[in-house]
Structure 1
Amino acid sequence: MKKILGISLVWILLSGSIMAPIGFLTAFGASGGLTINQIITITTVFSSQNPSTLGRSVTFTATVTPSTATGNVQFNDTSTSPPTTLGTGAISSGHATFTTSSLSIGSHNIVAKYLGDTNNAVSTSAPLTQTVNQVSTTATISLGSSAISIVFGQSVTFTATVLPSTATGNVQLLVNGATFGSPVALSGGHATFTTSSLPAGTYDITASYSGDANFSPNNSNSLSTTTTITITNTITNTITDTITNTNTGQVSTQGAGNDDDDTDNDKKDQKNSDDRGGQQDDQKSQENNNSQDNDGNSQNNGNSHQNQNNKNKGHKDD
């Protein structure tokens, strides 16, 4: 047994000929020289998280045997054509690592290739299938500047926020589980809805995110909002009434109120007016009677005076 480069060699002698040591390729030239080749290596690769989610970091670790190997390991994605080199990692105690968060959604064949050194041969691992899934997003909805309790006809603004903000796609507003309005495209992770058409009542408002190539669909938590109604009933009555009354006194009219009360009051006013009119007629009748009596008395006095004159004249003629 003989050691070369720190490795034990076992020599086999057959029929007087010197054979190659086990594990090495040895060739003899005419001069009887000896050639020693590199050590055969074995490389394997592992993933820190498989499956992983989009945008999350994944660390690939390559193990090279023998552990005395030095140099670098190259990590490749062979699912593309041509293969894509993701990066390299230096070997330390037989291990090399590489971390990435740039893998797209889908399956990736990750291969670790040991690049070798002076004494250790190049080797390539078997492919590792790395699966990258969509990220589950959470859509949240909140009221803008409007209050939770609003008056019928008042505008209210709902804002849906989708995280991460790099997500694209549309958000649909739902009122009590039913589609309300049209989908709104995300802009910077936000979509806004403004409406004044909600009738009076209490509603559960939710937002539904449609998803895109990189992010999965999701629904927001329910937001409860109450729309109250305030009715302002303005009644304008125009009353035109001409009252002619020669009697002294006070005339009182009652404003707008209950229709039945107004009718009763009108009847009472009419009755009082009729009573006053009757009293006025009685007074005029009494005045006429007195006038007639005075006229009669005046006429009687005139006749008496005439008779007295005639009598005096007769006496004078005698």
Structure 2
Amino acid sequence: MEYRNLGKTDLNLSAITYGAFAIGGNMWGGNEQQDSIDAVHASLDHGVTSLDTAPFYGFGLSEELIGQAIKGKDRTKIQLLSKFGLVWDGSNNGKGEFFFDANDNGKTLPVYKYTAKANIIKEVEESLKRLGTDYLDLLQLHWPDATTPISETMEALESLIQQGKIRAAGVSNYSLDQLKEAEKSISLASNQLSYSMLNRAIEKDVIPYTIENNIGIIAYSPLERGLLTGKYFKDATLKSDDHRNGYFGQFDPEKVKSFLNAIEPLAISKNASLSQLVLRWTTLQPGITIVLAGARNATQAIDNAKAINISINNDELEFINKELAKL
């Protein structure tokens, strides 16, 4: 495994980091809890030391499962990354910015983006309890909240750092302008953003700024939630309540399939899976610090961790990029 410093902090994270959205089950067609715990264990056994989760994932279940998985392990060798700012239980009393209606076993839950100071403090305490720890290595704003001044949110994060509740503060889904505004109040460790072979918009403005200002980029959805594994062009299917039924609709399936067919021989030549080749390519892109990879069982987790061992030379990178340019 490769380990990389996150921005200007002393956090040394695994280049492939475990992404725990899917093990929450909600929006992903459910989950098998023991398989999820096994996936975390397998990740840790194969050099993945960093685990990224959020309260919203499974309405607390993802954090709880990670807490169970790391119980009894050396906490100093594990980096816990979580988030705040999505409220689904009504505790915001209508405050914040309405985001969308989530489905919890047939029950509709209105989700709000809410990043006021009092809510941040509340959410952190809840996350610490679910995770079974007394500090988070990185706390990240989950989605921007237009109803709360950025300065208020950042001041709350700075306070949590001073209290020792978090080691570093980051954001997610922040635009360039939002990053610049936040940096007036705090030195951010990172910005977690959607980034993949099929979604490279942040290369235009955000990545040049983060490189210049030494802010880490945490790339999420590098496999586009499984689309770039190629399995959904073969025999894999989705459950009816899996959000990817709609999510995949933004892509041209024939173009994606043709691209994957073009690069698959390269993966085979390296005795690697398509997903491993895609993950490794992502870790090699300028400005990308760490890459999140989800896994719902031990086999997937091991496959993800071993992606870091693939060697891709400049000619091979150029070949992949030329194929990408056809999309």
TM over 0.5: no
Q: TM-score, normalising length from structure 1?
A: 0.18
Q: Structure 2 length normalisation: TM-score?
A: 0.18
Q: Looking at CA atoms only, which structure, 1 or 2, has the larger radius of gyration?
A: 1
The structure where strand makes up a greater share of residues is 1
Q: Which has the higher helix share?
A: 2
Greater RCO (CA < 8 Å, at least 6 residues apart): 2
